[in-house]
Homo-oligomer: A and B are copies of this chain.
Amino acid sequence: MKYADMDAEALRATEQRVEQHLAALRGRNFQIDMTRGKPSAEQLDLTAEMMTIVGPDDCHGLDGTDYRNYGLGTGIPEAKALFAAYLEVPPDAVIVGGNSSLNLMYDALAGAVLYGVPGGDGPWRARAGLKFLCPVPGYDRHFLVCERLGLTMIPIEMTDEGPDMDHVEALVAEDAAIKGIWCVPKYSNPTGITYSDRVVDRLAAMKTAAADFRIMWDNAYAVHHLGDQRPVLRNIFEACAAKGTADRPLMFASTSKISYAGAGLAVMAASPANIRDAAAKMAVATIGPDKINQLRHVLFFRDMAGVHAHMDRHRALLAPKFAALDGALEGRLGGKGLAEWTKPEGGYFVSVDVLDGCATEAVRLAGEAGLALVPAGATFPYGRDPRDRNIRLAPTMLSLAEIDRAMDIFCISVERACVAKLRASEG
């Protein structure tokens, strides 16, 4: 039954039962970490052959360029071709960087602050009070970049087809201080939704008061399927070109969750003006990326068929974990009216909304019982979830047995926090 329908007596009894369960768990000194979306060792093993695939005699490009030496600051042509197919853009729209797409995204925004971007009127630092739109719940490391750079964040509600576009359109049309929006358009972090065609088209077509408005299109989970449903994300590069806003999107991706989280490749794609601008900034800031590691990826994956076949192997490892997590949530929280959660078709997370005002307490209780979760609020700008209800679950790194145990702790912690809340609001 729904806990909200319980009478005071039943609630009190439930609280007692839950508290006993939690106390028992606390005594067992579990240590389970569910904070971040990390691949498991089994997933990392899938690219074992990549580790030694480039030998000392394989270090040259087709034109004889020695990839061990300096040069090719925007990446090797073979890697550009692979990631052009990955992002569905032309190869000359691609920059292949180092191992961190977060770093490419940071550099893109830090570069805008320091020097400006094409179509703008100079460095963003020249103007105070600049803002950025942040669909919520979202990715905490996107928000940290804005916070660090002094870009004031405006939360935008996520719907089941992407950010609330009525709100977005109204804001950007009026306010030239709004310089951009963060998007994880496919299997979004953490809600798992994929932007609808209509949302992509509206993002491409909308009028923005800022001439140099940028869409930070972090396509982190482009090929990270969990189910048989494979939603097709509309190509924003083409959508913007068609609407005359070609310079608007900056697209990003990485192989952090395809090859190695610590030793993968990061990639950026954008219009010719944006690529020229980024390449010129990079030419001052770095000698260029590790080209040998780019070659490793090219030799291992070869083409998109290779990438997709590889991601099927990831899926085989991950889908059972998400099924176990969902099953546990259904079994332990289903029908109680305490929480709603996503059932993602891809990506790395399950997003849980508990009763308003209960997330912080549930995360605290879970921590006491040995389950580390990302802090409540982390999925919101400045770490502030106005309804204190969203919690991001990251099951990929855990074994099935650990997931069962983690969900045991999590669900009872949610129950405990919510029952306390319900009792308090009764009294």
A160 at the interface (CB under 8 A from B): no
- Report yes or no: B285 in contact with A103, Cβ–Cβ below 8 A: yes
- Report yes or no: B287 in contact with A99, Cβ–Cβ below 8 A: yes
A-side interface residues toward B, CB under 8 Å?
36, 38-39, 41, 44-45, 48-49, 51-52, 54-56, 59, 66-72, 98-100, 102-103, 106-107, 110, 113-115, 125, 141, 144-145, 148-149, 256, 260-263, 281, 284-293
Closest to A292 in B: B263
| Residue among A149, A289, A290, A291 facing the most chain B CB atoms (10 A cut-off) | A290
Q: Complex Cα distance A375/B389, Å?
A: 61
B contact residues around A98 at 8 Å (CB): 98-99, 290
B contact residues around A114 at 8 Å (CB): 110, 113-114, 125, 149
B contact residues around A55 at 8 Å (CB): 51-52
Shortest A114–chain B CB gap in Å is 7
- Report yes or no: B144 in contact with A284, Cβ–Cβ below 8 A: yes
B contact residues around A290 at 8 Å (CB): 98-99, 262-263, 290, 293
A-B contact pairs, 30 of them (CB 8 A): A36-B70, A38-B70, A39-B69, A41-B66, A41-B69, A44-B69, A49-B56, A51-B52, A51-B54, A51-B59, A69-B260, A69-B262, A70-B262, A98-B98, A99-B287, A99-B290, A100-B288, A102-B285, A102-B286, A103-B285, A103-B287, A106-B285, A113-B114, A114-B149, A125-B125, A141-B284, A261-B287, A262-B288, A262-B291, A263-B291
The 5 residue pairs across chains A and B that have the minimum distance between CB atoms: A48-B56, A103-B286, A263-B292, A52-B52, A106-B285
- Report yes or no: A287 in contact with B149, Cβ–Cβ below 8 A: no
Q: Complex Cα distance A177/B14, Å?
A: 67
- Report yes or no: A261 in contact with B70, Cβ–Cβ below 8 A: yes
Shortest A248–chain B CB gap in Å is 23
Q: Complex Cα distance A288/B260, Å?
A: 12
Q: Complex Cα distance A290/B260, Å?
A: 9
Shortest A148–chain B CB gap in Å is 5
Q: Complex Cα distance A125/B286, Å?
A: 21
Closest to A146 in B: B284
Known: A44-B66, A145-B284. 10 other contacts (CB 8 A): A41-B69, A51-B54, A51-B56, A69-B261, A99-B290, A100-B288, A106-B286, A110-B110, A114-B114, A256-B287
B contact residues around A68 at 8 Å (CB): 44, 260-263
B contact residues around A263 at 8 Å (CB): 67-68, 290-293
- Report yes or no: B285 in contact with A110, Cβ–Cβ below 8 A: yes
Q: Complex Cα distance A49/B66, Å?
A: 17
B contact residues around A36 at 8 Å (CB): 70
- Report yes or no: B66 in contact with A292, Cβ–Cβ below 8 A: no
B contact residues around A38 at 8 Å (CB): 69-70
- Report yes or no: B286 in contact with A100, Cβ–Cβ below 8 A: yes
Closest to A52 in B: B52
B contact residues around A292 at 8 Å (CB): 51, 260, 262-263
- Report yes or no: A106 in contact with B44, Cβ–Cβ below 8 A: no
